[in-house]
Chain A
Amino acid sequence: MSQPKQPQQVLQLKKPQYALGYWQKVSLSIWLIALVILPFADIEIVNFDPFLELTRMVNGLVTPDFFATEYLLQAIMQTVNFAIIGVCLGLVLGAPLALIYQHPLVSSCCAFLRAIHEIFWALLFLQVFGLSPLTGILAISIPFAATFARVFHDIINQSSDSPLEIIDRRADIISRFTYGKIAQVMPQLINYTRYRFECALRSSAVLGFIGMPTLGFYMETAFRQGNYSEGAALLIIFIALIGTIRYWCPPKLLGVYLVIACVTLVDIPKVDSSLLVRFITQDILPPAIANAATLAEVQWSSLMTWFSALLSEQAIPGAIATITLALLALAATHFISLSTHMIASKHLWPAPLTWLGQFILLVGRSVPEYILAFIFLMLLGPSMLPAIVALAIHNGCVIAYLAVKQSNAIAPQQIQISKLNQFNYHIMPTIYPSMMALLFYRFEIIVRETAVFGILGIMTLGFYIDSSFSEIRYSNALVLITCTALLNVAIDIISRRLLKFEQTSQTSC
């Protein structure tokens, strides 16, 4: 009976199926996750009158006062000094490690060192060296060395092997390696170092927020006291400093600057070795161990209670807040990077407009997240909202900046379509995958930065670390810093497993 029906069924067109593409799924899930966790996040505006504060800030911004800061020149000099010496020391330590980075022990050590933010390093060294330049330099150079090791290793690994195959096998390993590999990747290594120098300047400025005598110190003071004209001036100087690196610090002059930096560095006070010994043998140990004279006297039960209390009351809530904030920031960063890329794309706008867009990107990526978060906190009060906005603006602008560089290099299709169609059908599909790769790469950085925001009063891991330090409970701080580092390492590993696309390690900061 069903026979006659069949031809009809064949004729009837099946409803066309169109499955979601890979990147559509990925983008959708970022936003779904953000929507799901949004109700649990604390994003209310606490400040009762943000507009009053905003008008005062804008007023300050249009009337910058460049002469209000007393030690402005010294502040700029110290900011640059820490960055230069920090990067050079990082290079000296990190470059040799790059050659043995394939060893699991080296790579996991580096991952751990890298996962601890410069500010946490500085907080640690602050207890030992005080406000000595050593604190600032070491805080920059240790995580930077670990990053140099990994990125240099990646760059060398990704380079072509064909020159090595041609070189006579009897040539010694040093000659083969320098001619076949190092010479090949030298421009990339120099480029990356230059980029890291920019990052070091940002870190150096941010170290001012915990008391180092850099630009950040004066910036924080100015903003906290409501001297917005002075604060705006410092911010403008800082953005100009980063925007003009290539003019005042070409790679050839780096050696000269290093010498100048070493000469003009404020005096390093003598390190009190007894303090160092005390810190290592007493202060950073948990009370249960520090109070015990021998191993036998250690009260294991009290040690366990201390540890589990620390974990359940501080580490875990802090970690949850950190992850929540980071995931929300990821979605917001996605939005900002798409929209700012559009603003600055030469495929959509005439040249003068794209310059404006480029300028916005420069400002957005020059100001460290930490300083942005600080400013938004003054505006909106202590909640997750200022942190999300700050992370989204900075990281979104970094991603958009790199994406614009890439998309502007694409030749438009030779067909007659409008600019908007060209943009949506040719430019975006071409660069979207690498934009997403950058976004996920920045996620690691977002998590790292989120933890630090705790110092500003947001209840992430950094909040508990900062309180431990101010309560002089170094043992607690050390455990929490370790937890933070492990969280970062874990997220790094998971995201690498989940997303098996080419990681562009060139953009880590």
Chain B
Amino acid sequence: MLTLANLNLHYDKTAGANTRNKISEKDSSTQVIFDLSLTINEGEKVAIIGPSGAGKSSLLHHIYQELTTRAALCSQRQGLVDNLSIYHNIFMGALARHHWLFNLVNLIRPFKQDLHDIAALCQQLELDQPLAKKVDQLSGGQRQRVALARALYQQQAIFIGDEPFSALDPLMTSRLLDTVLARHNSVIMVLHDRALAMSAFDRVIALDKGRLILDSQQQSIDQAQITALYQTSAIA
């Protein structure tokens, strides 16, 4: 599905996003990923872990660029449109499935079918808010679930998530993670919770300082190794 060979990524400090990672100006950019090689197969559920600043988000966004036509992204920067309702924000996931005229009319008057689908999705994600509510009135956890719902509503085969549950409690996290895993053929997700990564995913890879340190496909990983990874990073 995806093969990365000797990937080097640079983070452009001047721009907010790291979408254009060309080795252009050395002064304004720092390297975040070093010589990373990785192959992800169809149907795999991969968790990416590692200490803060390890380059996980950069790698994930690069993977999304590669898979963009087949994948739904749930980014840490949620990219919700504050002036739109919960319904419209989630509907944004379906924009590509409809004609622009349909989308425009829907902006003024929601269509029954989508209203029904999105209500069901919200129920599944335990989001018990009126669909007409504007998202700027929601709490952090609720916003995160709207962003998640929008990614799910893209109905893609691949789900790419950057800590999509960081504002939720552990129990809800594992329930929602099950939903995400069940609805997608392949999942690539940056996770904070190491134990959850080990238990719920087929494969765990660990990054540290922009390098691939551990890959459960190549070697068996135990808890001690991962703990060590976070500790060395904390000292350094």
Contacts and interface: CB of A to CB of B under 8 A. Distances in A.
Nearest to B93: A168
B17 A179 contact: no
Contacts of B96: 167-172, 175
Contact of B78 (A162, A168, A171): A162
A171 B79 contact: no
Contacts of A180: 81, 92
Nearest to A174: B100
Contacts of A184: 81-84
Contacts of A256: none
Interface string B44-82: 000000000000000000000000110011010111111
What's the dominant secondary structure at chain A's contact region? helix
Given A175-B95, A175-B98, A179-B81, A162 B107 contact: no
Contact of B92 (A160, A166, A170): A166
Contact of A169 (B68, B75, B79): B68
Given A171-B103, A187-B83, 20 more contacts: A162-B75, A162-B77, A163-B79, A163-B81, A166-B75, A167-B92, A167-B96, A169-B69, A169-B96, A170-B96, A174-B100, A176-B95, A178-B100, A178-B107, A179-B95, A183-B81, A183-B84, A183-B88, A183-B107, A184-B82
B154 interface: yes
A164 B95 CA distance: 11
Nearest to A170: B96
Interface in B109-146: none
B8 interface: no
Contacts of B99: 172
B136 to A, nearest CB: 10
Interface in A143-179: 160-176, 178-179
Contact of B103 (A161, A175, A186, A187): A175
Contacts of B147: 166
A160 B16 CA distance: 10
B100 A179 contact: no
A162 to B, nearest CB: 3
Contacts of A186: 83
A163 B92 contact: yes
Contact of A178 (B72, B79, B103): B103
Contacts of B80: 163
14 contacts: A162-B79, A163-B92, A165-B19, A165-B73, A166-B79, A167-B92, A168-B96, A169-B69, A169-B96, A175-B100, A178-B100, A183-B88, A184-B82, A186-B83
A166 B82 contact: no
Interface residues of A, number: 25
A174 B104 contact: yes
Given A167-B95, A168-B154, A183 B83 contact: yes
Given A179-B81, A184-B83, A166 B95 contact: no
Interface string A55-89: 00000000000000000000000000000000000
Contacts of B104: 174-175, 178
Interface of B: 17, 19, 68-69, 72-73, 75, 77-84, 88, 91-93, 95-96, 98-100, 103-104, 107, 147, 150-151, 154
Contacts of A164: 79
Nearest to A160: B79
A179 B98 contact: no
A167 B88 CA distance: 12
B79 A165 contact: yes
A154 B100 CA distance: 25
B49 to A, nearest CB: 23
A171 B96 CA distance: 4
A164 to B, nearest CB: 8
Contacts of A187: 83
A179 B79 contact: no
Contacts of B107: 178-179, 183
A178 B88 CA distance: 11
A179 B69 contact: no
A40 to B, nearest CB: 46
A163 B80 CA distance: 6
Contacts of A167: 92, 95-96
B83 A179 contact: no
Interface in A459-501: none
**Which 9 A-B pairs give the minimum distances between C-beta atoms?**
A162-B79, A171-B95, A168-B96, A171-B96, A174-B100, A175-B103, A170-B96, A166-B79, A175-B95
B224 to A, nearest CB: 38
A179 B92 contact: yes
A272 to B, nearest CB: 43
Contacts of A170: 69, 96
Given A179-B84, A179-B103, A168 B95 contact: yes
A168 B99 CA distance: 14
A184 B134 CA distance: 12
A184 B100 CA distance: 18
Contacts of B150: 166
Nearest to B19: A165
A13 to B, nearest CB: 40
Contacts of A166: 73, 75, 78-79, 92, 147, 150-151
A255 to B, nearest CB: 15
B144 to A, nearest CB: 13
B131 to A, nearest CB: 16
Contacts of A183: 81, 83-84, 88, 107
Contacts of B88: 179, 183
B137 to A, nearest CB: 14
A160 B84 CA distance: 14
Nearest to A159: B81
A115 to B, nearest CB: 33
Contacts of A173: 100
Contacts of A178: 100, 103-104, 107
Nearest to B72: A168
Could you say which of A163, A166, A172 has the most chain B C-beta atoms within 10 Å of its C-beta?
A: A166
Nearest to A173: B100
Contact of B100 (A165, A172, A185): A172
A160 B98 CA distance: 24
B102 to A, nearest CB: 9
A172 B102 CA distance: 12
Contacts of A161: 17
